[in-house]
Amino acid sequence: MLELFSYEPVLRGFLVLLVAGFTFPITGVYLLRLNLLPLRFMLMHGALLGGAIALAANINPFWTTILVNLLLVWFMAQTARSLKTDMGYVSIFIMVASMGVAFALISLFNVQAKDTMSLLWGSIFAVDNWQSVAFIFISLAILAFHFIFYRQLKAVFFDTTIAYSSGVNEKLIYNTVVFLTALTVAVAMKLIGALLIDVVIILPALIATLHSRSFKRVVLWASLWGGMFSVSGFFAAYWLKVPTSSAIAILATLVFLVVYWQKKVSSKRGLSNVKRL
């Protein structure tokens, strides 16, 4: 089994998956707390648009995707500000437009079906050295942001008005969360594909939210679940001879269902105890 790691792309892919697995779910916690799920949909579609542009123009999809997502986030913020409207509405418009343009490009430039599929599924073994550096850099940025702004994050997640009146720069926190999410979604596409990005970002955070009773624990558990899914998904994929992304997705979904069911049962038990009292 361990002879696998004698192949450099495999070892590199595993390490990148591990790093991303532990750190990317932290942005998932932020997205859930700030109710930014439409934003991450937009970024997923933006990542597809970036991939489509790169394939059509025959350039590197990884860096193009990052650039496109950052531009989309900037465009979204500017539009929301000038129209004085909610970012959620703007993100839905950008999401639909991104998909339309992506499919048009794929069709117009006769992009091969297998290349399109690679965008949808991703591959951990296709990560090169510079891309690994980008993963590590983004992971460190997420950790640094989390630990430096921990108290401010807690204030903003509790209530933005109260955070503001306490002197917290809530706009900076919000914009940094959006920026980090844009980066995370863009690079996660390389690992796990556009369709399964939620598996490394949202699902671990969602599971942690179900069973943790403090912000600290939610973040810790989201990170642990993400890391565990990455490691176990990697080995399960090897044994079952399926793509790593789908192995991770199936594992995470099973864990989510078990935790969700357990929470339902325990809350029902709690209710019946109350009735008996």
Partner 1 sequence: MEKSLIVTANGQETFFSNSKWLYPLFELEDFLKSNTISADNLFLTDKIAGKAAAFLIVRLGFKKVHIELISEGALAVFSRFLVDVTFDSKVPKIQCATEELVKGNESPDAVWQMLRRRAGRVSGLSLSVESLGIAIDGVLVLDSLDLKVGKGDHVFIKGDNGAGKTTLLKAILGILPISSGRIQIGDWQVGTSEWERNRSVLGYVHQDMVKNNFPISASEVVEIGLAGKRMPSAEIQHRTEIAMRRTRCFHLATRSYHELSGGEKQRVNIARCLCQEAKVLLLDEPTSFLDSKAKDELFILLNELWANEAPTIVVVSHDDQWISLFSGKVFELSNGKIC
The yes or no reply on residue 218 touching partner 1 (CB under 8 A) is yes
Amino acid symbol at 135 = F
* Encoded tokens for 215: 């912000």
Q: Does 152 bind partner 1 (CB under 8 A)?
A: yes
Mask for 8-47, x = binds partner 1 (CB under 8 A): -------------------------x--------------
Q: Choose between 59 and 162: whose C-beta lies nearer to partner 1.
A: 162
Binding positions for partner 1, 156-195, rule CB under 8 A: 157-159, 161-169
Among 213, 241, 275, 276, binds partner 1 (CB under 8 A): 213
Amino acid at 57: A
Query: Is 61 in contact with 119 (CB distance < 8 Å)?
Result: yes
Please count the other Cβ atoms lying within 10 Å of the Cβ belonging to residue 212.
16
Taking the complex as a whole, the smallest distance from the CB of residue 259 to partner 1 amounts, in Å, to 16
Min dist CB 181 to partner 1, Å, is 18
Least Å from the CB of residue 153 to partner 1: 9
CA proximity to 153, closest of 170, 178, 165, 167? 170
Question: Do the Cβ atoms of 69 and 182 come closer than 8 Å?
Answer: yes
- CA dist 231 and 92 (Å) reads 34
154 binds partner 1, rule: CB under 8 A = yes
At its nearest, how many Å lie between partner 1 and the CB of residue 144?
Answer: 16
Neighbours of 4 (CB within 10 A): 12
Using CB under 8 A as the binding criterion, the count of chain residues that bind partner 1 stands at 23
Q: Is residue 135 within 8 Å of residue 16, measured between CB atoms? A: yes
Six token digits for residue 5: 């790691």
Q: Which of 58, 110, 214, 273 binds partner 1 (CB under 8 A)?
A: 214
The 8-class DSSP code of residue 269 comes to H
Q: Which residues bind to partner 1, rule: CB under 8 A?
A: 33, 151-152, 154-155, 157-159, 161-169, 212-215, 217-218
